[in-house]
Amino acid sequence: MQNFISTLWERFGLNAYIRGDYEKAERWFRKLEQREPDAISVLRNLGVILLAKGDAEGAEAYLLREEKLYGKSFHRHAGLADIAYARGKRKEAERRYALALQEPECQPGGKAEASRALLEKRLAICASEAAFTRSRESMKIFREAEELSREKKYEEAVLKFKEAAALDETNWPALNNAGSICLNQLGKNREAQEFFEKAFEISKNIQVARNLDLVMRKNSKETQ
């Protein structure tokens, strides 16, 4: 019964994360954490959720704990690389991306092969001080766009998200957020699809996949 409940809570948390409801996702995994504090699914998903919420330091603590308990792996290297990237730790991000790319899962034919192109682009950005500086500006503009969205200045937010994406070609969340605003607040479904398609080209993230599928079905109905 306990395993069933844990599985159910994990599913609820993942579904909330896919919908972009990070607060609810965190609540479900916090409940699960009380039952299974050292479970990989708890440590990894709380790390991912906290990073999505902008708490890179909190995310790092969970993934470092996972690595300490379970050892090195592609997912841990990639996750910690993304956190170092978000925190502005260029050399650490570069080291971790390089390690992730060396793991068997990331090799041609491996389970994580689809992630390789993004990791290679991030590695190249980390190797260039100028490119990494632009990525910091991209993150700053991204936060400004989020604030505009919270203020319901949706058109301005979309322009800011586009600006952030232009400064860092790996900033798929900026494109995904612009698409979400076009879809949910502005009713610009065609533009939303373009944003989601561009984001999905960069990252095969499950959230982007869901958003792209949703908008494609809506646009298909409109043309029938």
Residue in 219, 135, 147 with CA at minimum distance from that of residue 182 = 219
Q: Where are the domains of the chain?
A: 129-224
Q: How far apart are CA 146 and CA 27, in angstroms?
A: 22
Residue 224's pLDDT is what?
Answer: 59
pLDDT one digit per residue (tens) for the chain, 224 residues: 458 889 999 999 999 998 889 999 999 999 999 999 999 999 999 999 999 998 999 999 999 999 999 999 999 999 999 999 999 999 999 999 999 999 999 999 999 999 999 999 999 999 999 999 999 999 999 999 999 999 999 999 999 999 999 999 999 999 999 999 999 999 999 999 999 999 999 999 999 999 999 999 999 887 75
CA distances from 145 to 85, 158, 161 (A): 19, 7, 6
The single-letter DSSP state of residue 25 is H
Residue 46's pLDDT is what?
Answer: 97
Residue 182's pLDDT is what?
Answer: 98
> One-letter amino acid identity for 81?
A
Correct CATH for 129-224 of 3.40.50.620, 3.20.20.70, 1.25.40.10, 3.40.50.720: 1.25.40.10
Residue 221's pLDDT is what?
Answer: 81
Residue 38: what are its φ and ψ, rounded to 5°?
Answer: -105, 10
